Chains A and B, each alone.
Chain A
Amino acid sequence: MESLFDWIGNSSVGVFMAENGTAFPMTEAIHVLAISIVIGVIAVVDLRLVGLASKSYRVTRLSSTLLPLTWIAFVVAVITGGLLFASKPQAYFDNFYFRAKMVALVLAGLNMMVFHFLTWRGVESWDASDRMPPAARAAGAISLMLWVVVVICGRWIGFTMDPF
């Protein structure tokens, strides 16, 4: 692991991210913008699942129209996040909040997979309903909570690690 982090940190990208004065803040700004879009858009779908908003919009239609947006923004967040990580791989890896953020992301992914592969199978029967089955409501609530955790951890990384 350490040699991998050394390699990343000493790569041209890692050195550039660590030493260029504007690369880090610029990348971080784009990272925040991308995460805002990921979370804000996914929240519209989650709130529909929980039953708090957009109740007259078919669930299948709402997710198919909004989730592509979330995925595009997520890819941008992963790329910019990877660049930030490359500036100080070992320090990020050692940071508690960084680890917690990664765990929350994995859990969000698992939650999405359970929802997509299991709960989603019966969607025809509740697609247009304003009240989702408990499994779908739980998936929405868990997703909302995990993304809040991601933001909390993300902000705390910034306060527990010197950016430079």
Chain B
Amino acid sequence: MESPLKVNVKLFASIRKFSKKDNLEINIKEGSSVKDLLSKTGIPQDEPLLIIINEYTRGKETLLQEGDTLCLFPIIAGG
């Protein structure tokens, strides 16, 4: 039996339009990736994202761990 993982998700800038809340706590199956998590948040899987997990930039295939904090931004840049 796969145990559920709890992860924190924070949404920023234009990604906020996909959810009523900016901060979410989401339970997902062990072995889930960022892509799997997106389907639970209402964010389209093909939405271009800058994904930060626990202060590191990551890709959509990254597997999630218990207690991870995910920050989801649109693809941004600037200076």
A binds B: no
A→B interface (CB under 8 Å):
none
